[in-house]
Structure 1
Amino acid sequence: MTAPGLWHIAAAEPGLTAVVDPDGGEVSYGSLAAAADRYGRGLQAMGLRPGDSVVVLLPNGSDLMAMYFAAMQTGLYIVPVNWHLVGPEIAYLISDSGAKAFVASSRFAEAAAVAGESLPASARFSVGEIPGFQPLSSLGASEPVGRPDIRTAGAPMLYTSGTTGRPKGVRRALTGADPDDVPAAGIWFFGIFDLKPFDGHVHLCGSPLYHTAVLNFVALSIQFGHTAVLMDRWDAEEMLRLIAKYRVTHSHMVPTQFRRLLALPEDVRSSYDVSSWRAAIHGAAPCPLEVKRRMIEWWGPVVTEYYAATEGGGTVINSVDWLRKPGSVGLPWPGSVVKVLADDGSELPAGEIGTVYMRMGASTFEYYKDKAKTQAGRVRDLFTLGDIGYLDEDGYLFLCDRKADMIISGGVNIYPAEIEGELACHPAVADVAVFGIPHPDWGEEIKAVVQPVDGVSGSPELTAELLSYLATRLAKFKLPRTVDYAAELPRDPNGKLYKRRLRDPYWEGQERAI
């Protein structure tokens, strides 16, 4: 029986499809493994050794996955870059990670050219033409065909976006494991979602691979013998078409995608066969209760939510349990510890709101070159992402909001996520952000910024309608005092809302209450 893992599968079934590129081209396991070997040998010929870093600025595609597996079998740290960053921001990642090679797409030529100036031309490679870069196809082309001379497990090093300061890389010590074998932690992690090697699954990736969870899901799917279908830019109807065409069984999603799928006309939604679904896995952002209920009604009990972090640890909840405990993000994973602590570090009883802290087994991490940030998020052996929540009497975790987003108005704590979840259910609302702005007496007052659905314009009449709608669902002290409108809210492609971009202008020259 074939063992899971890219190279094991490539040896046993080289013609099996590993990746379907966004243009529809299919890349076999044999071809993907050969490209990873060639790039790995090329990087070692340049002098890169275990512990060195390579930065990649590539869109979703088999080129990125080949570079990923090249790094993962040669003991390198691979740093996937958010391709929305500009040249100086990417240059910072290259410098901070100590990268000795940089691979970029000509799609991002302008930013890549600026970012790559700190590296010699011999260390810069491109897919497509970028002045001063060598073609990626030349990397390892003059090396003998075969596996790299030094093979040991590498690791991704992803940078957290953070809320203040420059991003920090989450860097774990290399394990020294055999890179041909799937790590036991990967098999365990997919087991949480009932995903097993060679079980007929097909994965659909609709988010950028520079996100931790997205990259992890695609890489593990390939290692499990699951064909990975990659999208370049996510589109609701295109996702349904791909599900039907490739009989997709699982995907890693975000609530924004759920909302846009549900916004499709009923005749469009019903025209695609989605019966192949087995696991629609989501995290990264709060999901309004009504949106999730409607997705479960449409797709069945296949929607699984988890709460986790690049740093490790988390919770999970399936559809059946969620319908019993709507709004929960579940129970801790096996081996994970989740506690809710007061500001003094003491553990709070069930039902009391505090800061959520986690730990995954005995694993540790550090923010690269930032011991202070690492320690700031810790209490004893636990760490926090800054989220506020509570555990119920059965140990299920409920999140209220991020501590940095909490509004304190007249001494009362108000959680914007609750208000956003209710507003998101109004048929005129495509997206919404709620935050606190200065008030001379109360400290803060509640502001809502709404992105109306297509065909609807922001107006005093709409504001009155929205506030009247909220008044039937929330206490008066939770109602926004004012509502502004925007054509589009600032979200990244994985659904994360950059709320500070909306909030900070109101606080210029003033100090927030928290």
Structure 2
Amino acid sequence: MEGALLCAANHAPLTPITFLDRAALVYPDRPAIVASSSGLTRTWRETRDRCLRLTAALAALGVHRHHVVAVFAQNIPAMCELHFGIPMAGAVICTLNSRLDAAMASVLLRHSEAKLIFVDCALLDVAHDAIRRISQSGATPPVLVLISELLDDPSDAKLPSGRVDYEYEHLVGNAGSSPEFAVRWPADENEPIALNYTSGTTSRPKGVIYSHRGAYLNSLAAVLLNDMASTPVYLWTVPMFHCNGWCMAWGVAAQGGTNVCVRRVTAATIFDAVARHGVTHMGGAPTVLSMIVNATAEEQRPVARRVTVMTGGAPPPPKVLHRMEEQGFLVIHSYGLTETYGPATVCTWRPEWDALPAEERARIKSRQGVHHHGLEVDVKDPATMRSVPRDGKTMGEVMLRGNTVMSGYYKDGAATAEALAGGWFRSGDLAVRHEDGYVKVLDRSKDIIISGGENISTIEVEAALFSHPAVEEAAVVGRPDDYWGETPCAFVKLRPGAAAAAKAGVVEEELMAYCRARLPRYMAPRTVVVVEEGLPKTATGKVQKFELRARAKAMGTVPAAAAAKSKRSKL
């Protein structure tokens, strides 16, 4: 339009590292970081100074724009600082799964070409093994910086052995690392800020590229999704390596909040942190919710104020949602992927739903909901790219587009083109859309069971199992069947009391009968396996269904005329 002028006065690249300056200005003396176990507390003013010194140290070590700097750590204070210090040096932060073994860590470090790696003292042995593997391959290993944070259990402490090039606190406290260092702001907001590797539960992990713009917008969207007012107290039960903590590593700073860091996420640490620090918000996979509702009387402490919990992954069972409410936790159900910077949709609550019975409220809450402010979501036929009817029945693939969809897969142009074909990101998740526009995910396309031509949603079968009072964990996969092709096979972990009282073969038959009474008969499991030691999970709490599928396949086919067989096993 005539008279419009785009210039420095009205345009600057969006980046979440600006949140740090504002937090230090507006909330200088408020606690920014608290280490729950050690009692360490740092203000926003102190945090900004430390991040600037860290940035100066990285520059002095030869880190340039767009260099990848890896972090291999649990949810410790340094993780919060590195989310600002590394991008402020113009570099790209790559947070590695803290549960990786040395073989996979070495693969990701080689793929990312990380120049440095910051290593948590608790993970030093794994890092040393990974670096040894890189050296043996003939590649140049990254410079290793040791983070000597206190451990939750002092008996775990040990002197570092092996190669350590630098120590974190020495870099931050070095006289040559000035808090007046000039931040390397992005010249273009589409420059990379983070490299996140997918969980690898279905295939080899891919490196997902986040931009400064996407991270900025998703951080603000995450604040809104979590219903965060100013100065929240956020308990880190989401791994910060996972989508940069669903972008809350930056979002908490935007609101001048307090990061409460814990190494081990247990029911006891959650209740203790809520009581001691006045936690207002937290997040996590359904396994975190399960910890809370199954906490013993000794682990529980009174929840003085409501705690908002954002959960993602598999839909939380209605019974779990109801019990969370009774204990003082408000659960917000979201859905997203690494490729969408974490949560992309949310089950936004409507006031008229408050009058509904508790079970109906929980059922509505278990839906994935609608998109947040940073993108658009649709459910489409992947062949025709037409939107499915809003009838709650017709299945299609969840597709997303907008400012908080990844820039692409690092070094994999073919996979990027395939994922973004047609102008939408194809999630691989199957869903329906209800009349009110809310999306309900039924399954991963890989997990859907096709039995005698009927599509069976494993999520719906799992929800039925979860409603049984004896069931603590449940996952359903397909098992080969001589007649139907495949039929549902349920793996369950029983609650401690129920497990002690259960008789082999009886509880399995009871669970199958229970499902038959609540589901169409073809959806009910024909095999139930009681897993005494819990289901296999990723570090982010997602059940590794590929392991369960392999287990079900190894059982052989279900004989056409045979009654369902019960099994007991240890995984």
Residue number among 118, 139, 143 corresponding to 1:103 in the alignment:
118
Residue number among 163, 171, 182 corresponding to 1:139 in the alignment:
171
Deviation at 1:121, TM superposition (A): 7.8
**Structure 1 pair 27–384 and aligned structure 2 pair: CA distance change class (3 A):** same
Residues 115-136 of structure 1, C-alpha deviations (whole Å, 9 max, x = no match): 2244768821112424111222
**Hey, what's the Cα distance between the residues in 2 that align with 1:157 and 1:335?**
20
Deviation at 1:505, TM superposition (A): 4.2
Residue number among 263, 284, 296 corresponding to 1:232 in the alignment:
263
Q: Map 1:451-462; keep pairs closer than 5 Å.
A: 451-455=493-497, 456-457=499-500, 459-462=504-507
Kept in 2, the 8 Å contact 1:247–1:276? The answer is no
Deviation at 1:68, TM superposition (A): 1.9
Residue number among 283, 304, 316 corresponding to 1:287 in the alignment:
316
Deviation at 1:213, TM superposition (A): 5.8
Deviation at 1:444, TM superposition (A): 0.9
Q: Paired residue for 2:560? A: none
**Hey, what's the Cα distance between the residues in 2 that align with 1:482 and 1:76?**
51
Q: Paired residue for 1:308? A: 336
Query: Is 1:82 aligned to residue 120 of structure 2?
Result: no
**Structure 1 pair 357–510 and aligned structure 2 pair: CA distance change class (3 A):** farther
Q: Map 1:287-366; keep pairs closer than 5 Å.
A: 287-299=316-328, 302-312=330-340, 314-320=344-350, 323=361, 325-344=364-383, 345-351=385-391, 352-361=394-403, 365-366=407-408
Q: Paired residue for 1:32? A: 47
**Structure 1 pair 258–241 and aligned structure 2 pair: CA distance change class (3 A):** same
**Hey, what's the Cα distance between the residues in 1 that align with 2:295 and 2:555?**
43
**Hey, what's the Cα distance between the residues in 1 that align with 2:257 and 2:365?**
31
Q: Paired residue for 2:356? A: none
Deviation at 1:242, TM superposition (A): 1.4
Q: Map 1:352-501; keep pairs closer than 5 Å.
A: 352-361=394-403, 365-455=407-497, 456-457=499-500, 459-486=504-531, 487-501=533-547
**Hey, what's the Cα distance between the residues in 2 that align with 1:104 and 1:326?**
39
**Structure 1 pair 34–334 and aligned structure 2 pair: CA distance change class (3 A):** closer
Deviation at 1:274, TM superposition (A): 3.5
Residues 454-477 of structure 1, C-alpha deviations (whole Å, 9 max, x = no match): 241562011122122212211111
Query: Is 1:504 aligned to residue 541 of structure 2?
Result: no
Residue number among 146, 160, 180 corresponding to 1:126 in the alignment:
146
Q: TM-score, normalization: structure 2?
A: 0.81
Query: Is 1:218 aligned to residue 246 of structure 2?
Result: no
- Letter of the 1:413 partner, please give it: N
**Hey, what's the Cα distance between the residues in 1 that align with 2:163 and 2:35?**
27
Q: Paired residue for 2:225? A: 192
Residues 217-242 of structure 1, C-alpha deviations (whole Å, 9 max, x = no match): 23311342111111211111321221
**Structure 1 pair 508–470 and aligned structure 2 pair: CA distance change class (3 A):** closer
- Letter of the 2:147 partner, please give it: V
Query: Is 1:18 aligned to residue 64 of structure 2?
Result: no
Indicate the SS of the match to 2:33: strand
Deviation at 1:254, TM superposition (A): 2.3
Indicate the SS of the match to 2:390: coil
Deviation at 1:185, TM superposition (A): 4.7
- Letter of the 2:102 partner, please give it: G
Kept in 2, the 8 Å contact 1:303–1:318? The answer is no
**Hey, what's the Cα distance between the residues in 2 that align with 1:207 and 1:9?**
22
**Hey, what's the Cα distance between the residues in 1 that align with 2:177 and 2:244?**
34
Kept in 2, the 8 Å contact 1:240–1:274? The answer is no
**Hey, what's the Cα distance between the residues in 1 that align with 2:543 and 2:488?**
17
Q: Paired residue for 1:167? A: 205
Residues 48-79 of structure 1, C-alpha deviations (whole Å, 9 max, x = no match): 11111011111111112222211121221111
Indicate the SS of the match to 1:433: strand
Indicate the SS of the match to 1:33: helix
Deviation at 1:214, TM superposition (A): 2.2
Kept in 2, the 8 Å contact 1:202–1:228? The answer is yes
- Letter of the 1:6 partner, please give it: L
**Hey, what's the Cα distance between the residues in 2 that align with 1:291 and 1:122?**
44
**Hey, what's the Cα distance between the residues in 2 that align with 1:189 and 1:253?**
14
- Letter of the 1:126 partner, please give it: L
Deviation at 1:191, TM superposition (A): 2.4
**Hey, what's the Cα distance between the residues in 1 that align with 2:545 and 2:475?**
7
Indicate the SS of the match to 1:132: coil
**Hey, what's the Cα distance between the residues in 1 that align with 2:253 and 2:339?**
23
CA RMSD of aligned residues (A): 2.8
Residue number among 151, 156, 181 corresponding to 2:194 in the alignment:
156
Residue number among 70, 85, 88 corresponding to 1:73 in the alignment:
88
**Hey, what's the Cα distance between the residues in 2 that align with 1:64 and 1:124?**
15
**Structure 1 pair 292–361 and aligned structure 2 pair: CA distance change class (3 A):** same
- Deviating more after overlay: 204-213 vs 401-410: 204-213
**Hey, what's the Cα distance between the residues in 2 that align with 1:215 and 1:445?**
35
Indicate the SS of the match to 1:338: strand
Residues 334-369 of structure 1, C-alpha deviations (whole Å, 9 max, x = no match): 352222122413322112111111112485521111
Kept in 2, the 8 Å contact 1:101–1:124? The answer is yes
Q: Paired residue for 2:302? A: 272
Kept in 1, the 8 Å contact 2:217–2:374? The answer is no
Deviation at 1:194, TM superposition (A): 2.9
Deviation at 1:447, TM superposition (A): 1.0
**Structure 1 pair 112–362 and aligned structure 2 pair: CA distance change class (3 A):** closer
Query: Is 1:248 aligned to residue 279 of structure 2?
Result: yes
Name the % identity: 26
Query: Is 1:6 aligned to residue 38 of structure 2?
Result: no
- Letter of the 1:106 partner, please give it: C
**Structure 1 pair 31–121 and aligned structure 2 pair: CA distance change class (3 A):** farther
Kept in 1, the 8 Å contact 2:218–2:404? The answer is no
Kept in 1, the 8 Å contact 2:226–2:281? The answer is no
Indicate the SS of the match to 1:346: coil
Kept in 2, the 8 Å contact 1:22–1:61? The answer is no
**Structure 1 pair 343–184 and aligned structure 2 pair: CA distance change class (3 A):** closer
- Deviating more after overlay: 127-136 vs 417-426: 127-136
Deviation at 1:435, TM superposition (A): 0.3
**Hey, what's the Cα distance between the residues in 1 that align with 2:380 and 2:205?**
26
**Structure 1 pair 130–10 and aligned structure 2 pair: CA distance change class (3 A):** farther
Kept in 2, the 8 Å contact 1:217–1:252? The answer is no
Deviation at 1:108, TM superposition (A): 1.5
Deviation at 1:150, TM superposition (A): 4.6
Q: TM-score, normalization: structure 1?
A: 0.89
Deviation at 1:419, TM superposition (A): 0.8
Indicate the SS of the match to 1:311: helix
Aligned residues between the structures = 499
- Structure 1: which 5+ residue stretches go unaligned? none
Indicate the SS of the match to 2:75: coil
Query: Is 1:57 aligned to residue 77 of structure 2?
Result: no
